[in-house]
């Protein structure tokens, strides 16, 4: 996954998606008392059953499709999503789609293939590297990096990173980290133009993958399953018309911590559960923390939960081992990302409302 070009309730069952015109609801108005590090514990059996029931209702009845396509990355979110779809629809009605490119980790492909085999679902490998090269994805990105690191050439590796939120000011700016073929490391602050250039080019990856997901969905009369968890969905950690596009998103109401709980219940391989969350988007290894959230995900989950429930920063801080000032800083960042990513949740904007005849389900 990757961020779109924007600059810097309790989740114990299925909930309907919020109105896309206003973006996701992000906080409950009643302050939550008794905050602890255990507030995100779920009854995994019950949650799985409710999600599976909802998947059947959505795919078979609302969308009137025969099955689901799930893009597999070797990560826990896509693994839990495909496992739920297989349980809900049957293993023969789910297609696992693996889409490596020139800079993908070999672990991603291996883990995704192993999962598909373990679940007994059909899978397809589509190498998107040639398509990305033809579109200029790699070349355009490298040109943007060269604007701040002139010596950057073919054969170098790179990633973009944020500073650690806990050790810095409220204003976190992206830098690019580059590694030469000889192993020399260069780091430079990205200008707004360079940042946008890198992100715009990199977003070809998510949008190309989504194009293939819908090809296979159209071919099979299936629906496309999105794989974001609540942290990613609410904070805009996706590409518009890329990994942000889907026909249904079965785990978008679950915090990342809860996705791991479901993964253990569903029997997701331990190798996947132990794998550090990664974007698998840049040629250098990159965690989601250093790229977007700037805080360990288990702490970020609890901060978002606290923010959503109106919990004072002091209460959250005491439960997760941060200072109240640090949690307040996280709350500011959450609001900042909500504002910056509101555009991602918007449907196409109309000049005037268009009255439509709606199908009421009556034959």
DSSP letter (8 states) at residue 165: G
pLDDT, residue 168, reads 57
pLDDT, residue 2, reads 42
Using CA atoms, how far residue 338 sits from 71, 103, 192, 354, 360, in Å, is: 26, 30, 20, 28, 34
pLDDT, residue 7, reads 35
pLDDT, residue 65, reads 98
Name all domains of the chain by residue range, CATH numbers in brackets.
44-345 (3.40.50.620)
10-residue averages of pLDDT along the chain (363 residues): 37 33 39 76 98 98 98 96 98 98 92 96 98 97 97 92 64 85 94 95 97 98 97 90 96 96 97 86 71 74 94 94 90 89 92 81 55
The three-class DSSP label of residue 178 is: strand
Using CA atoms, how far residue 234 sits from 13, 82, 305, 306, 323, in Å, is: 17, 21, 11, 14, 24
pTM for the model stands at 0.86
Q: What are the backbone dihedrals phi and psi of residue 205, each rounded to the nearest 5 degrees, phi first? A: -65, -50
State which H helix or E strand residue 187 sits in: strand 185-189
pLDDT, residue 235, reads 86
Assigned token pair, 314: 């002091």
- CA geometry: angle at 235 spanning 204 and 196, to 5°? 40
d(CA 284, CA 183): 12
Reference 257, options 289, 300, 321, 219; nearest CA is: 300
338-354 burial, b if ≥16 CB within 10 A, otherwise e?
bebbeebbeeeeeeeee
């Amino acid at each position: 996954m990757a961020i779109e070009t924007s600059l810097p309730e309790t989740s114990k069952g299925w909930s309907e998606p919020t109105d896309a015109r206003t973006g996701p609801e992000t906080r409950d108005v009643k302050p939550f008392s008794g905050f602890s590090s255990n507030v995100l514990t779920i009854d995994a059996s019950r949650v799985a059953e409710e999600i599976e029931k909802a998947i059947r209702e959505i795919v078979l009845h609302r969308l009137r499709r025969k099955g689901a396509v799930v893009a597999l990355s070797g990560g826990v979110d896509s693994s839990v999503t495909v496992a739920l779809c297989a349980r809900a629809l049957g293993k023969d009605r789910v297609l696992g789609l693996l889409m490596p490119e020139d800079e993908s980790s070999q672990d991603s492909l291996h883990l995704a293939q192993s999962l598909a085999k373990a679940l007994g679902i059909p899978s397809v490998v589509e190498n998107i590297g040639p398509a990305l090269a033809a579109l200029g994805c790699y070349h355009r990105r490298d040109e943007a990096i060269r604007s701040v690191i002139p010596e950057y050439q073919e054969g170098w590796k790179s990633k973009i990173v944020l500073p650690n939120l806990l050790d810095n000011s409220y204003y976190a700016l992206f830098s690019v980290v580059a590694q030469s073929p000889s192993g020399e490391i260069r780091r430079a602050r990205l200008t707004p133009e360079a940042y946008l250039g890198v992100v715009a080019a990199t977003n070809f990856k998510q949008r190309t993958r989504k194009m293939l997901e819908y090809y296979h969905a159209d071919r099979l009369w299936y629906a496309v399953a999105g794989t974001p968890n609540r942290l990613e969905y609410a904070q805009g950690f996706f590409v518009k018309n890329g990994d942000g596009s889907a026909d249904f998103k079965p785990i978008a109401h679950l915090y990342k911590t809860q996705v791991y709980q479901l993964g253990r219940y569903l029997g997701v391989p331990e190798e996947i559960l132990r794998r550090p969350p990664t974007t698998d988007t840049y040629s250098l290894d990159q965690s989601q923390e250093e790229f977007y959230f700037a805080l360990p995900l288990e702490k970020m989950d609890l901060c978002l939960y606290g923010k959503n429930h109106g919990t004072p920063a002091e209460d959250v801080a005491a439960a997760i081992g941060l200072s109240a000032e640090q949690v307040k800083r996280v709350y500011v960042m959450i609001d900042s990302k909500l504002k910056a990513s509101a555009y991602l949740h918007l449907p196409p904007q109309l000049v005037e409302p268009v009255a439509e005849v709606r199908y009421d389900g009556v034959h």
